[in-house]
């Protein structure tokens, strides 16, 4: 390549300066125009600042006496002088004008510029520096003049003419630039890069061109370079600036043109490259053309590009461009080809198309390279059955959570065949197959119901299992064990709104187990665990085999402790031993879930036992245990339900249970009940009452539960002094509040009157009540009217004590009413009472108190004993004084017990008299069923299923064993019990909620054995025998009592009929809504016993779960003096 110029480094700058000075010709002598012409020239931008300073010397006609070229001329026309601005050593001073941009002598001498340039700079600086000029530079100037004698560029001669300061440069001979041949090989080789790589382009443009460029071309290239160095490259702008100076070039110039056009993604680049033929330029332009074509979609050279060798940038670009278009190439590729292409794209942070990745992975899997295949498709989406099949084959060999997630996500949109393929693929993680089963279930794929159920069961996906069973209830008969599995493992959250459906499915399953075929999905251990959780363990040996010796020992010990004959004490270490044994056992997913449910059931049973113990420490431990059980993420329906029942029975506060209801079932009554128990425990009894009230309103369709909860609300209102709200609740719901006794309503209204300042109205209300009581109990004998009214009020005064209600202000208002009745006369009795009160407020002399009470006892034994009870419980006596009065009380009671009926002894707690409990038939039946279950269970430990009913009869036996109670079976209850337990078949019909193996039943429960157990039950619950006359049952006025509570029994009758069975009822006044004959007889027996004097008996109670008793229990107690207990907590409150 020919290049003009004597000196390549300085040559272009001399040419540019020369071109710049040519513009001075048209500016004339006007300095302003001269400077403007120089600055406005296109070539000006090509000059470095130091060269621009030389151009300004020419523009300002710099002369030796006027070197300050930036200072305008004064009025005289002369240019003002300025001191030089160079440093002492020739360095730069402060730059103020273009002349200050002139290179320093040192900079000029060190540069690679031509000698003429250096001499011109030194000549100008010598004039400017004056005294600071270094004389050594004079020698340098001499040498430079010698070099210039050999000839200089024409620009210096022109500069000498324009700037007198540099007139010396005009005396040297001028030499025209020579044509020099330059080798362009390196420059062409450097062009082997991707034109779209602007960093590579920038580096290439920084290399000296192998040909001479005009100033216009140089200016355009400089502009492009600046654009490449800026923050944002704008190649589209290059296209317009390249015209015309950089268009239509030849040879190396054409290569430059083509690369710049390709960098700007111009379609014209291909035409430029195509005209270059032959040699290195032709070969290089061919590659660039190939790159442009393949990027534009012309794949005729795809294989050549894809397999291009070499590490150069252009070769890499060809390979990358080809593999980016691989899907359109139509070329059949081998595994090696795909691996090579994958590597090519990986170098630039890209990947081959997903479809080819899957093809590569499939090929690798077929070669047994699943791990390598996974690396290519692990995070890809999945489409189509082939990709699904490949992914599943990989997952069988290699565990990959990411690939598993991809398959799981793909399953959600699969068709039936794809989902079936996944579900049936053995070895694939069960969570993926489970998702496929869910997909098929959503698609209502009836053909594959069995397989779907099997998948849900194996994966322990209880929600999915229940969903299928609910859709087709007939499946409960085909898969009974799976229904029971769902019953015990379904989470409380998933069971919301489904409890009735689940109960119906369970009932159907229990009826179908006997004739069902073996379940091939459930292991023997799973079936045994299901049976154990549901009541009666079968093949318990298969469960034992799963545990180590410590776990087996712990399970047996815990079960024994929680059995009917156990002590209920379970050590935490035993539970932990069992849990550890389960953790290390080899279990399937389903077996693990069932063992977890077993642990939960044992903990729930232990909590129930602890709550029934009456020991504060155990009760607190139970509350904490219930909190942990209910506080887990997916607490089961059985745990949530069992814990809720314990809260209802024992009023125990369980914070996590309240949180569970708040999150999942806030609208239900249970949420308010659980919340109320917590509020009650925090002594926030007003809000507890309101919560119970809300619950009662939500339960209005269940009259029995609603009435019992309403009673709780009213009691809490009483303890919170919320009299107004309590009375408003009664008045607003008269039917619901009909189960509340008149005395309790009177108690609330009296307290409300007092709070509102209506003391006279309260006294009048009490006196009216006393008058009604006197009239009701009048029998033509005994004391006079006033005496009977006083007796009624005195009995009423003891009401809060008898029912553990706040004493004030009720007793104060009763005392005021008594005083009003007694105001017309004084009596010895009232004098003694005043002495008693004075003594209790003063000295508290036990001898004086004893004397006063003994005197009262002579006329009214019960009153004297009650005054002693009041003194003992006053809290103002020490232990010795209390014991003295207790001995006195027991002695006085021994003397007068024959005159004090049992119903009047209920408040005499310090006599330590035992209650006599009449056991109803439903309790006896429950106890018999429990005993029989123990007999037929393989481990003789009976049912694991805890219920409130079972806990009740356990507690009755326990308290009797502790000699705390007398138990008695009324004739009516015993007769019904013996009738219903007359044969094994009749008893078998009583087991509606638990599966009984009829073969085992027939083998163990013979008629003889059954009679033994029946008699044992009668003995256990009938240790007390009444020797006295029971009296005439018609004398108790039961019919009148029942009619007064007609609304209650009407609602009870309606509710029982809604249950699907016609209840046995008796008729009064033509309405067959009242309790059956046997229940009426028990009520009469209890009333008669309560009215008699029985040694060592402090109260009469009826143990029953029957709503005919429970809903009028307070009324029965007020009317006849006997109470009703329906659960272990109520029993303990009367005994402990």
CA torsion angle 1050 1052 1058 1059 (round to 10): -150
- The predicted structure's pLDDT at residue 94: 55
- The predicted structure's pLDDT at residue 823: 65
| Section 288-301 average pLDDT | 85
Q: What distance in Å separates the CA atoms of residue 99 and residue 91, rounded to the nearest whole number?
A: 14
- The predicted structure's pLDDT at residue 193: 87
CA proximity to 55, closest of 39, 68, 76: 39
What is the token pair recorded at 280?
Answer: 């290195």
Euclidean distance between the first and final Cα of the chain, in Å? 119
A 10 A CB-CB count for 78 gives 10
1091 versus 9: the higher-pLDDT residue is 1091
Q: Assess contact for 291 and 318: CB atoms under 8 A.
A: yes
- The predicted structure's pLDDT at residue 828: 58
Strand partners, 917: 967, 1101
- The predicted structure's pLDDT at residue 3: 42
- The predicted structure's pLDDT at residue 180: 56
What is the token pair recorded at 50?
Answer: 């130091």
| Section 1098-1109 average pLDDT | 94
Using the CB atoms, write b or e for 458-474: b if 16+ within 10 Å.
bbbbbbbbbbbbbeeee
A 10 A CB-CB count for 48 gives 12
Whether 916 shows a pLDDT value over 50: the answer reads yes
pLDDT in tens, 839-855: 888 888 899 999 999 99
Q: Assess contact for 1035 and 1085: CB atoms under 8 A.
A: no
CA proximity to 803, closest of 791, 795, 813: 795
**Lowest-confidence pick of 437-451, 492-506, 1118-1132:** 437-451
622 versus 239: the higher-pLDDT residue is 622
Secondary structure of the chain: what % helix, strand, coil (to 5)?
65, 5, 30
Whether 1112 shows a pLDDT value over 60: the answer reads yes
Q: What distance in Å separates the CA atoms of residue 800 and residue 1094, rounded to the nearest whole number?
A: 25
**Does the bond joining 244 to the residue before it have cis omega, within 30 degrees of 0?**
yes
Strand partners, 918: 968, 1102
| Section 526-544 average pLDDT | 83
pLDDT in tens, 943-958: 777 788 888 998 999 8
Max Cα distance, the chain (Å): 165
603 versus 180: the higher-pLDDT residue is 603
- The predicted structure's pLDDT at residue 781: 43
What band does 181 get if pLDDT is binned at 50, 70 and 90?
low
CA proximity to 892, closest of 914, 916, 908, 874: 908
Whether 987 shows a pLDDT value over 80: the answer reads yes
- The predicted structure's pLDDT at residue 1007: 94
Q: What distance in Å separates the CA atoms of residue 885 and residue 873, rounded to the nearest whole number?
A: 11
Whether 393 shows a pLDDT value over 60: the answer reads yes
pLDDT in tens, 971-986: 999 999 999 999 999 9
Long-range contacts of 689-694 (CB under 8 A, 24+ apart): 689/713, 689/714, 689/715, 689/716, 689/717, 689/720, 689/722, 689/725, 689/726, 690/725, 692/716, 693/725, 693/729, 694/669
What band does 939 get if pLDDT is binned at 50, 70 and 90?
confident
Whether 183 shows a pLDDT value over 50: the answer reads yes
What is the token pair recorded at 773?
Answer: 């009581």
- The predicted structure's pLDDT at residue 72: 41
Angle at the Cα of 831 (from 829 to 833), degrees rounded to 5? 70
Q: What distance in Å separates the CA atoms of residue 324 and residue 295, rounded to the nearest whole number?
A: 9
Q: What distance in Å separates the CA atoms of residue 453 and residue 464, rounded to the nearest whole number?
A: 8
- The predicted structure's pLDDT at residue 318: 87
pLDDT in tens, 999-1026: 888 899 999 999 999 999 999 999 898 7
What band does 295 get if pLDDT is binned at 50, 70 and 90?
confident
What band does 11 get if pLDDT is binned at 50, 70 and 90?
low
What band does 228 get if pLDDT is binned at 50, 70 and 90?
confident
- The predicted structure's pLDDT at residue 92: 53
Pick from 386-400, 570-584, 1030-1044, 1066-1080 the range whose average pLDDT is largest: 1066-1080
Q: What distance in Å separates the CA atoms of residue 711 and residue 1012, rounded to the nearest whole number?
A: 41
Question: Which residues, at least 6 apart from 915, have a Cβ–Cβ distance to it below 8 Å?
Answer: 965, 966, 1097, 1098, 1099, 1100, 1101, 1134, 1135
**Lowest-confidence pick of 86-100, 555-569, 813-827:** 86-100
- Which position has the token pair 């202000």? 809
- The predicted structure's pLDDT at residue 179: 56
Q: Report the Cα 168 to chain-centroid distance in Å.
A: 92
**Does the bond joining 799 to the residue before it have cis omega, within 30 degrees of 0?**
no
Q: What distance in Å separates the CA atoms of residue 402 and residue 414, rounded to the nearest whole number?
A: 19
Q: Assess contact for 920 and 1103: CB atoms under 8 A.
A: yes
pLDDT in tens, 1060-1080: 677 889 999 999 999 999 999
Backbone angles phi, psi at 97, to 5 degrees: -145, 175
Backbone angles phi, psi at 1095, to 5 degrees: -60, 145
Q: What distance in Å separates the CA atoms of residue 452 and residue 448, rounded to the nearest whole number?
A: 6
Whether 385 shows a pLDDT value over 60: the answer reads yes
- The predicted structure's pLDDT at residue 1092: 93
Whether 368 shows a pLDDT value over 80: the answer reads yes
**Lowest-confidence pick of 120-129, 268-277, 734-743, 876-885:** 734-743
| Section 475-503 average pLDDT | 92
What is the token pair recorded at 1076?
Answer: 């059956």
Q: Assess contact for 139 and 121: CB atoms under 8 A.
A: no
Whether 1 shows a pLDDT value over 60: the answer reads no
What band does 609 get if pLDDT is binned at 50, 70 and 90?
confident
**Lowest-confidence pick of 106-110, 176-180, 334-338, 389-393:** 176-180
Whether 789 shows a pLDDT value over 60: the answer reads yes
CA proximity to 511, closest of 476, 540, 487, 563: 476
Whether 927 shows a pLDDT value over 70: the answer reads yes
| Section 1089-1104 average pLDDT | 94
Q: Assess contact for 242 and 220: CB atoms under 8 A.
A: yes
Q: Assess contact for 486 and 469: CB atoms under 8 A.
A: yes
Q: What distance in Å separates the CA atoms of residue 997 and residue 1000, rounded to the nearest whole number?
A: 5
- In this prediction, what percent of the chain has a pLDDT beyond 70? 92
| Section 795-824 average pLDDT | 84
State whether the Cα torsion 105-109-114-116 is positive or negative.
positive
Q: Report the Cα 696 to chain-centroid distance in Å.
A: 31
pLDDT in tens, 196-223: 888 888 888 878 788 777 777 777 777 7
pLDDT in tens, 62-106: 888 654 444 344 433 433 344 444 444 445 555 567 777 898 999
**Lowest-confidence pick of 81-85, 786-790, 891-895, 1018-1022:** 81-85
Q: Assess contact for 849 and 836: CB atoms under 8 A.
A: yes
pLDDT in tens, 1026-1062: 765 455 666 788 999 999 889 889 888 888 887 667 7
Q: What distance in Å separates the CA atoms of residue 498 and residue 753, rounded to the nearest whole number?
A: 47
How many residues can be counted in the chain?
1136
Query: What does pLDDT average to over the chain?
Result: 85
- The predicted structure's pLDDT at residue 1031: 55
């Amino acid at each position: 390549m020919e290049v003009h110029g004597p000196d390549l480094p300085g040559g272009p700058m001399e040419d540019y300066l020369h071109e710049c000075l040519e513009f001075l010709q048209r500016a004339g002598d006007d300095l302003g125009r001269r400077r403007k012409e120089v600055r406005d020239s296109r070539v000006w931008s090509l000059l470095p600042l130091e060269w621009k300073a030389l151009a300004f010397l020419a523009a300002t006609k710099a002369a030796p006496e006027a070197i300050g070229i930036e200072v305008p001329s004064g009025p005289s026309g002369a240019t003002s002088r300025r001191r030089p601005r160079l440093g002492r050593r020739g360095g730069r001073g402060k730059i103020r004008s273009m002349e200050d941009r002139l290179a320093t002598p040192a900079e000029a001498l060190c540069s690679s510029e031509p000698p003429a340039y250096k001499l011109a700079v030194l000549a100008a600086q010598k004039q400017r520096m004056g005294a600071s000029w270094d004389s050594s530079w004079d020698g340098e100037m001499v040498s430079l003049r010698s070099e210039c004698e050999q000839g200089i560029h024409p620009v210096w001669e022109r500069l000498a003419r324009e700037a007198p300061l540099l007139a010396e440069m005009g005396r040297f001979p001028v030499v025209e630039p020579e044509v020099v041949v330059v080798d362009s090989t390196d420059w062409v080789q450097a062009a082997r890069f991707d034109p779209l790589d602007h960093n590579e382009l920038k580096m290439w443009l920084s290399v000296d061109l192998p040909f001479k460029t005009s100033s216009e071309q140089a200016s355009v290239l400089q502009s492009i370079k600046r654009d490449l160095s800026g923050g944002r490259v704008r190649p589209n702008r290059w296209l317009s600036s390249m015209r015309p100076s950089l268009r239509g070039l030849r040879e190396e110039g054409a290569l430059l043109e083509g690369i710049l056009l390709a960098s700007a993604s111009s379609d014209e680049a291909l035409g430029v490259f195509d005209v270059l033929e032959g040699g290195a330029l032709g070969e290089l332009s061919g590659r660039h053309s190939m790159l442009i074509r393949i990027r534009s979609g012309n794949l005729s050279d795809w294989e050549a590009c894809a397999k291009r060798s070499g590490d150069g940038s252009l070769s890499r670009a060809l390979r990358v461009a080809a593999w980016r278009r691989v899907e359109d190439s139509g070329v059949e590729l081998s595994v090696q080809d795909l691996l090579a292409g994958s590597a090519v794209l990986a170098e630039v942070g890209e990947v081959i198309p997903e479809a080819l990745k899957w093809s590569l992975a499939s090929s690798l899997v077929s070669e047994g390279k699943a791990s390598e295949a996974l690396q290519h498709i692990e995070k890809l989406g999945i489409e189509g059955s082939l990709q699904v099949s490949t992914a599943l084959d990989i997952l069988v060999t290699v565990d990959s959570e990411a690939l598993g997630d991809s398959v799981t996500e793909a399953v959600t949109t699969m068709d039936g065949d794809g989902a079936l393929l996944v579900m049936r693929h053995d070895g694939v993680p069960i969570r993926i197959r489970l998702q496929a089963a869910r997909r098929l279930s959503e698609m209502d794929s009836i053909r594959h119901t069995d397989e779907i159920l099997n998948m849900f069961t194996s994966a322990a996906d209880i929600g999915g299992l229940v969903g299928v069973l609910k859709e087709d209830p007939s499946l409960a008969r085909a898969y009974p064990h799976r229904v029971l599995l769902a019953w015990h493992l379904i989470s409380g959250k998933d069971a919301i709104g489904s409890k009735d459906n689940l109960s119906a499915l369970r009932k159907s399953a229990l009826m179908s187990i006997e004739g069902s075929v073996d379940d091939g999905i459930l292991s023997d251990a799973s079936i045994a665990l299901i049976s154990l959780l549901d009541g009666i363990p079968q093949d318990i040996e298969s469960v034992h085999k799963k545990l180590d010796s410590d776990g087996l020992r712990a399970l047996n010990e815990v079960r024994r402790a929680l059995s009917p004959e156990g002590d209920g004490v379970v050590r935490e270490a035993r539970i932990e031993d069992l849990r550890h044994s389960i953790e290390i056992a080899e279990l399937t997913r389903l077996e693990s879930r069932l063992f977890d449910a077993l642990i939960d059931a044992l903990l729930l049973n232990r909590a129930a036992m602890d709550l029934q113990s009456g020991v504060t420490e155990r009760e607190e431990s139970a509350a904490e245990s219930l909190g942990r059980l209910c506080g887990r993420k997916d607490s089961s329906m059985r745990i949530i339900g069992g814990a809720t029942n314990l809260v209802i029975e024992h009023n125990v506060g369980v914070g996590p249970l309240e949180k569970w209801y708040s999150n999942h079932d806030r609208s239900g009554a249970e949420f308010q009940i659980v919340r109320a128990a917590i509020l009650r425990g925090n002594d926030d009894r007003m809000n507890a009452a309101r919560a119970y009230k809300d619950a009662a309103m939500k339960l209005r369709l269940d009259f029995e539960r609603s009435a019992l909860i309403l009673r709780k609300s009213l009691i809490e209102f009483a303890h919170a002094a919320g009299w107004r709200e309590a009375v408003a609740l009664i008045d607003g719901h008269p039917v619901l509040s009909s189960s509340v006794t008149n005395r309790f309503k009177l108690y609330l209204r009296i307290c409300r009157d007092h709070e509102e300042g209506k003391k006279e109205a309260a006294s009048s209300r009490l006196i009216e009540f006393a008058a009604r009581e006197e009239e009701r109990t009048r029998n033509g004998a005994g004391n006079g009217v006033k005496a009977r009214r006083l007796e009624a009020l005195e009995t009423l005064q003891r009401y809060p004590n008898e029912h553990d209600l706040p004493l004030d202000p009720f007793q104060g208002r009763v005392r005021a009413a008594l005083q009003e009745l007694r105001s017309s006369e004084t009596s010895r009795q009232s004098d003694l009472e005043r002495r008693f009160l004075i003594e209790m407020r003063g000295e508290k002399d036990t001898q004086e108190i004893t004397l006063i009470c003994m005197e009262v006892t002579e006329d009214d034994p019960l009153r004297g004993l009650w005054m002693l009870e009041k003194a003992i419980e006053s809290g103002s006596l020490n232990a010795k004084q209390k014991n003295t009065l207790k001995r006195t009380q027991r002695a006085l009671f021994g003397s007068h017990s024959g005159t004090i009926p049992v119903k009047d002894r209920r408040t005499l707690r310090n006599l330590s008299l035992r209650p006599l409990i009449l056991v109803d038939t439903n309790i006896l039946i429950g106890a018999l069923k429990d005993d029989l279950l123990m007999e037929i269970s393989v481990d003789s430990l009976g049912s694991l299923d805890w219920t409130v009913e079972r806990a009740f009869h356990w507690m009755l036996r326990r308290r009797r064993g502790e000699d705390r109670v007398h138990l008695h079976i009324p004739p009516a209850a015993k007769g019904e019990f013996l009738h219903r337990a007359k044969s094994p078949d009749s008893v078998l019909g009583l087991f509606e909620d638990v599966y009984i193996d009829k073969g085992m039943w027939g083998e163990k429960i013979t008629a003889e054995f059954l009679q033994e157990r029946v008699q044992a039950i009668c003995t256990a619950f009938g240790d007390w025998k009444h020797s006295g006359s029971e009296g005439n049952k018609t004398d108790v006025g039961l019919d009148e009592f029942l009619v007064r509570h007609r609304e209650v029994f009407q609602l009870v009758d309606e509710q029982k009929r809604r249950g699907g069975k016609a209840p046995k009822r008796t008729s009064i006044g033509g309405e067959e809504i009242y309790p059956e004959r046997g229940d009426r007889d028990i009520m009469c027996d209890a009333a008669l016993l309560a009215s008699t004097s029985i040694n060592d008996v402090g109260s009469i109670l009826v143990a029953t779960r029957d709503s005919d008793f429970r809903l009028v229990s307070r009324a029965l107690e007020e009317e006849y003096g006997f109470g009703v207990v329906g659960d272990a907590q109520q029993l303990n409150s009367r005994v402990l």
